[in-house]
């Protein structure tokens, strides 16, 4: 079974950013490590079925507010906490759906979960398949694909 690759994630991220977030044509996701990685906010979706795992989108608080402003068409200063949760959850859902399309069928995508202050310990029994570190509007963004390492009878994250 073939897992998604970092090249796959790069293509997906470029398509998502150009379609949904790069509305003025001037701020694409640059797939380079940020000077200082921040994972203040993480949105995730889980994939179940023939392949099991998670797709995570982690970013700084400022990047999450920029995502909300771009997706919802509102001013950065008007972004509320629930806007961040809605927008980052939708971003994880869009990216997760694209990753899912590369995986064996049948598979299903969960509703997104958004949590603040990183993901330490949130996903036990997984191995990292691939990740993409990027910078968008001078803020760090990371997209990570984790595959479950437990069998169906094992504990799921």
pLDDT per residue as tens digits for the range 22-38: 766 656 777 676 566 67
Q: Which residues contact 141 (CB under 8 A, 6 or more apart)?
A: 29, 34, 57, 58, 59, 60, 63, 133, 134, 135
> What pLDDT is recorded for position 29?
77
Token readout for 120 is 């330490």
> What pLDDT is recorded for position 135?
84
Confidence band (pLDDT; 50, 70, 90) for 124?
Answer: confident
Q: CB burial class (10 A; 0-12, 13-18, 19+) of residue 151?
A: exposed
The string of pLDDT tens digits covering residues 48-67 is: 999 999 999 998 899 999 99
Mean pLDDT for the stretch of residues 124-132: 88
CA dist 6 and 132 (Å) reads: 6
Lowest mean per-residue pLDDT among 13-22, 80-89, 90-99: 13-22
CA dist 52 and 147 (Å) reads: 6
Q: What predicted TM-score, i.e. pTM, was given to this entire model? A: 0.86
> What pLDDT is recorded for position 115?
84
Site of tokens 């949130």: 122
CA dist 127 and 48 (Å) reads: 15
**pLDDT > 70: percent of the chain:** 84
């Amino acid at each position: 079974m073939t897992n998604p690759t970092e090249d796959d994630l790069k293509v997906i991220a470029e398509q998502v950013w150009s379609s949904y977030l790069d509305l003025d044509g001037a701020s694409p996701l640059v797939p380079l490590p940020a000077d200082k990685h921040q994972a203040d906010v993480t949105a995730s979706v889980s994939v179940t079925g023939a392949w099991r795992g998670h797709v995570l989108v982690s970013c700084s608080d400022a990047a999450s507010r920029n995502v909300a402003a771009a997706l919802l068409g509102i001013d950065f200063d008007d972004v509320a906490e629930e806007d961040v949760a809605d927008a980052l959850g939708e971003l994880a859902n869009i990216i997760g759906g694209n990753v899912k399309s590369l995986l064996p069928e049948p598979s299903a995508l969960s509703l997104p979960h958004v949590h603040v202050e990183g993901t330490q310990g949130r996903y036990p029994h997984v191995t990292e398949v691939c990740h993409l570190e990027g910078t968008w509007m001078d803020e760090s963004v990371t997209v990570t694909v984790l595959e479950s390492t437990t069998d169906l009878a094992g504990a799921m994250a």
